[in-house]
Structure formats: structure tokens, C-alpha cells
Structure 1
Amino acid sequence: MKEYLLDLDSSYFNQYNSPKLSTYPLLLSLLATKHLKSTDQKVGAAIQDKYAWVLTAMKIDLKAPIDLKELLGVTWYGGSRGPFYRREYQLFKDDKVYLEAASYSVLLDLETRKVFRGKNLPFEELPLNETKLVALKTSFRETIPFYEVYQGKVTNSDLDLFNHVNNLKYSEICYDALTLEEVKALKRLTSIDLYFQKEMKLADLYSVNKAVKNNKIYLNIINLTTNTNSFTMVLEF
């Protein structure tokens, strides 16, 4: 299996030398992009000028604190479950594993904004590797009593090529809902769950909400314009 080199910029880390919340999905996105570079299935770009891969869920298990300037990574296509296509990721260096993860994505028709549900993809499917690294759910199903931390509005800089909020931006918005003590505690983070529930667009108003339960911090973004849940993140320590 081909290994890919990932450079970690200083901007990926906070004032306590811990990765920011957006760093983890960013590294995995970069890894997937390197893997797909030689295929017709791109990340962050339109496929056949019509389709795009859109993340719906991601599970990240942290095996050791990341404080390096570079890591090696491997990734592979892990099969499908209905319209959900799974990808596995592993980051390591010198035989030490730092992170294992998996994600579900759906193929979005950019014209109709509907999920592709055909039996056969409109392009060649990648080779299947059934090895699974983490337990991954397709959606967030817990009932949690959240409280509001702050409100915001989607601006021009939040949007990506597909005219909706970039998936990394959700993690940045949630990161700003943490207290200083919670930011310090990120060195002890053991896992992150991310659920991309409903896209947000320009000028949408949103609230950022939080709940702390046992050894977990729950973060939730509600689109106040459409009255829908847009994103949920679960941090476990």
C-alpha cells in the first residue's frame, strides 16, 4: 500500500502545541486528495462537472499526541452502505501509529443538490479493501440537552467551490465554543466524531451549542435560518 507524506504547518497547532480541531479532518482530506490524485474521483472538485463527494460522518481515534512536523499516511476505499461510501485512514511515523479514522461520504449531484442513489457509480469504483480501523456510525442519534454559546452568520470566506460552508469551517466554528481550559485539555483528546447533517449557505444565521457529559464535550451547530441541525461534533477524553 502506497504511503503519502503529510507536512504539518505551524498554523495547524494552538498556543499549547496541540492540533486545532480542524487540523485532524484537514490532514485526512489532504491524505485522501493525494490518494485520489491519479484517479477521476477528486476531493474538493467537481467530477464530470456534475458530481462532488460530500462528507457526512467521520470518526477519528487518536492513538498518541501529534506534535511532529510530518507524518506518513495510508488510506483506502472501504466499501459502501447504501448511498454512503466509506474510506479508512491511518497516520504514523517510525512504526508508531498516531491516528486511525474512517469517514462516510455521499455523491452529491451539484445541479439538483440530491444524493446519488444509483447502484453503479457514474465512474470507475476504486479497489475495495475491507479492513476496518474504527467503529463508524452514519448519523448522530443521541438526545442531548445543549445550551447556546454564541451565534454567527455565514460569510463569503466560509464558502467553498460548491457554494456551501466548507467542511473544515464547521470544526473551526466549534473550536471557538471551547473555554480556555477545554482548549488546554485537547492534549488528552482520545477521539472525535463529526456529523455533517445539513449544508449551510451564504447569509445563513446559526447558533453554536454545547453540552458536557461525563468525559465528553458535545458541540452542535443549528442553522437558525432553516431551523435544522447542520453539524454535530463529539470530543471524548
Structure 2
Amino acid sequence: MQTEIYSKTVTLNFTQCYANGRLKYSELNNLLQLTASEHAEILGFGYQAMASQSQSWVLSRIRMEIDRLPKFLEEITVKTWVQDFLGNRSIRNFEVYRKDKKIIGVCSFWAVFNTQLRRSENLAIKVDPAIVLPERSATQESFKRIEQDTDYDQTSSYLSKLSDLDIVNHVNNVKYTDWCFDLLPAETVLKKTFRSIDINYLKELKLAEAVDIHQRVHPESAHFAITRADKTIFLMQANF
């Protein structure tokens, strides 16, 4: 059985889509996360195995390159593989297909997180180097460090809620995208497609923590930052 590349095929349901019938960006992120989790289980470093070592994977950076968003009732296939692995971090790539056509490419950077000490550390589970595919990339550009905009034109306050948390007891990475895009006019999200999205996850956020969500829209892009007590915990740049 080949395990280097894992494929997951799904039919999009109405809860995953915006009012225009297209897949939500946050649900795209969620599909990627679920596919990565299933592949990690097969490879022996999934949630259960890592939880036994008080460890978890956390997403640090991601880049999505989008030709088009799939829509309600379309069947899509998500493929994923590990491009690089070194001790406490890993690069994982994704491709999303509609029939035989690639419509989305994604490059992501993950860190091993100790759930008790709340810090990064080396993976406690041995990884077979044969599953790493260093020559196979999914995007034209890799994930990047986002430079923070200092001149935002809109700020909104938010208090993290129970429904925002995941099994690691912090706000799931999917939630941040929704919080930011909810600041935009609906027609900006529904009538245009972001051709690329870069995200940096900098610090974790827990229950009932107050944050400020900052936004600035340029003609070709939208920039976001989420801060807690003047410390930046999340950055995103979405290009039209």
C-alpha cells in the first residue's frame, strides 16, 4: 500500500458553502486539516499517537494558490504529502482536484507542540524517511513571513468562545479566517475570488481571551492582523 501520497474525495454540502454556492475559504482550510490528520494517522503520527506523548501538530504558516473555488455538490479530491521533515517541524503540501483538473495548490508549515508545556519540541515518534517527497511541490511560491501593515483602516474587537476551541484546547486555525473575512463587505467575498492567501499563525489563543481584529483593503489585496494586548497572534494577506 502506497502511503506517501494520501487522497480524500468528498462531495461539498451546503454547510461548507457561501451564499453564492462556492466553498468557504475557512472550509477549504478545514478540509486540508482533516485530510492531513487522516494521512498522519496512517503514517503513525496522528492525533492518538501524539496525544500519548503529550504532543500535537499545530499549523504555523500556509499559502493557498486558488484557480477557482469548487461549489455545492461538486465532488473534489484532496491529495496531500509530506515534502520535508526535520525534528520539530514539517512541510506538508496539498492539491485539490475537480475531476482531473487541479484547481488549488497549498503549501503549509507545521510545528510539533507539547500540549502540557505549551511549546514546540522534537517529535517523539520515529518517522520513516521514505514517506518524505522533497522534490514534489504544490505551489508556485512557498509559504512566507508576512510583514505586518501598520496602517489598518478598520478594527473590531472579539472575545474567543467555546465554539472556537478545538481538541487541543485553543482556538482552531480555521476560525481566524472567518473572523477576518466577516469584516469585509459581503460582495467582496462573494463576487471575487482570492487568487492566493498567505497566513501566519504566531501565538495560540485560548478561551475568553479578548483580541482586536485589524483590516486594510488595497485594490489588489486585503491585509489582516489579530492582536492580543498589543501582541500579534495572527497575520493574513489575501490577494485578488
TM norm structure 2: 0.87
Question: Structure 2: where are the runs of 5+ without partners?
Answer: none
The count of corresponding residues between Structure 1 and Structure 2 is: 231
Residue of structure 2 equivalent to 1:183 = 189
Q: Please give the secondary structure, in 2, of the residue aligned with 1:6.
A: strand
Asked if structure 2 preserves the Cα contact closer than 8 Å seen for 1:41 and 1:47, the reply is no
* Partner AA of 1:230 in structure 2: I
Partner of 1:58: 62
Task: Report what 2:163 is aligned to.
Answer: 157
Please give the alpha-carbon distance, in whole angstroms, between the structure 2 residues aligned to 1:138 and 1:85: 15
What is the CA distance between 1:80 and its match in structure 2? 3.6
Residue 53 of structure 1 aligns to a residue whose secondary structure is strand
- C-alpha distance in 2 between matches for 1:35 and 1:22: 20
- Partner in structure 1 of residue 145 of structure 2: 139
Change (3 A) 1:32 1:2: closer
- Map 1:193-208; keep pairs closer than 5 Å: 193-208=198-213
For 1:171 and 1:45, how far apart are their aligned partners in 2? 28
Paired amino acid for 1:125: V
Distance 2:154 2:87 in 1: 34
Residues 45, 61 of structure 1: CA spacing in aligned structure 2 closer, same or farther, 3 A cutoff? farther
SS, match of residue 29 in structure 1: helix
Report the AA paired with residue 124 of structure 1. Answer: K
Percent identity of paired positions between Structure 1 and Structure 2? 23
Aligned mates of 1:45, 1:230 — CA distance in 2: 28
What secondary structure is seen at the aligned counterpart in 2 of 1:3?
strand
The residue that corresponds to 1:5 in the other structure is 9
In structure 2, C-alpha distance between the alignment counterparts of 1:138 and 1:111, rounded to whole Å: 28
Question: How do residues 86-235 of structure 1 correspond to structure 2 at under 5 angstroms?
Answer: 86-116=91-121, 118=122, 121-126=123-128, 127-130=131-134, 131-134=136-139, 135-186=141-192, 188-224=193-229, 227-235=230-238
In structure 1, C-alpha distance between the alignment counterparts of 2:234 and 2:177, rounded to whole Å: 9
CA distance in 2, matches of 1:142, 1:204: 22
Alpha-carbon distance change, 49 to 197 in structure 1, aligned in 2, over 3 angstroms: same
Q: Which amino acid aligns with 2:191?
A: A
SS in structure 1 of the partner of residue 214 of structure 2: strand
TM-score by length of 1: 0.88
Counterparts of 1:2 and 1:174, CA distance in 2: 30
Contact 1:20 1:175 in 2 (8 A): no
Q: Is the 8 A contact 1:153 1:205 kept in 2?
A: yes
Residues 149 and 223, structure 2, Cα contact 8 Å, conserved in 1: no
Determine which of 40, 50, 66 is the counterpart of 1:36. 40
CA 1:200–1:44 in 2, change beyond 3 Å: closer, same or farther?
Answer: farther
Task: Quickly say closer, same or farther: Cα 1:2–1:210, change in 2 above 3 A.
Answer: closer
Matched, 1:72 2:74: no
After superposition, the Cα gap between the structure-2 partners of 1:44 and 1:181, relative to the gap in structure 1 and judged at 3 Å, is farther
Q: Tell me the amino acid that sits aligned with residue 61 of structure 2.
A: A
